[in-house]
Structure 1
Amino acid sequence: MLDTYGVGPDTAATLLIAAGDNPERLRSEASFAPLCGVSPVEASSGRTQRHRLNRGGDRQANSALRSIVLVRLRWDRRTRDYIDRRASARARPNAKLSGASNAT
């Protein structure tokens, strides 16, 4: 875990303690998200489909994950490039729609 960029000894220890304190809750990789309070929870009403972050979970593990994310967003070139690619893909119009508007 320490070989991963942005993960130091303190954050690794915090995440391992959170996992070790709750082994019955860790049935898969996806079950770690609710344990740390970073899983989406449906907050829909009527026809509106929305999600919010889970407010439960281990606050110290949530803080450790947040610090890893902030370090990677600030200093890791691969993470920043990934975010930039996703943002440009969202800004780019749909190819089908742009082709149809040019035909008319």
Structure 2
Amino acid sequence: MTAASATTLLRGFCACSGVDRTRVGLCRDLIADIRRLDDQLAANEKQMAHTLDEHGTRLREVDGIGAVTAARLIGRTGRASRFPTAAAYANYNGSAPVQIASADTGRHRVSRYGDRQLNCALYTVAMVQTRMPASAGRAYYDKKIDEGKTPAAARRALKRHLSDHVWRIILADEKRRYRLNEADTAGAA
């Protein structure tokens, strides 16, 4: 329900008693709060988009990554060069599978360690991509299903794949910014 639809519903309500009038007043206050918070969220998203433009990241070119998710990924990752490999980054964000062995069977599950907020952002991107029929993530997910993996295992594989892809993009953006800063410093001297 949006603030506009709640306002429309509230207009159709007839306040016959003092209690009803109090309820209507409380509802109006809540609707005003929702409008204020919606405006604040829109301003925050606009500010994040502006900051990401200044940052020069290419993360928003990936299906399922908007301004808010890109900001979360960059903010929670920090410097990507601190991770020597994509596997180290996957271990940090908790998307690296952990092998569980019991008797003669071995299987993998998602690590419960790592940065849970970063893991949540990657999960969100993975879920959005699996719902987009033309995305590269959906093609990867379908390929894993065709290989015989369960839907949960295919999602885990996609999340790990996305972790590697995001790390490479953030690392490339970091290197590009470093080269631009070096060129600016050399040009100024």
TM over 0.5: yes
Alignment RMSD (CA, Å): 2.5
SS of equivalent residue, structure 2 residue 101: coil
SS of equivalent residue, structure 2 residue 141: helix
What is the identity, as a one-letter code, of the residue corresponding to 2:145? A
Unaligned runs of 5+ in 2: 1-58, 149-189
Q: Which residue of 2 aligns with 1:47?
A: 104
> Structure 2 matches for 1:1-104, cutoff 5 A?
1-20=59-78, 24=82, 26-78=83-135, 79-90=137-148
Percent of aligned pairs with the same amino acid: 34
Structure 1 runs, 4 residues or longer, greater than 6 Å off: none
- Please tell me whether the aligned partners of residues 5 and 76 of structure 1 are also in contact (alpha carbons under 8 angstroms): no
Q: 1:19, 1:47 → 2: CA distance?
A: 37
How many equivalent pairs are there? 90
Q: 1:89, 1:48 → 2: CA distance?
A: 19
Structure with the largest fraction of helix: 2
How big is the shift at 1:20? 0.8
Unaligned runs of 5+ in 1: 91-104
Q: 1:82 to 1:20 in 2, by over 3 A?
A: closer
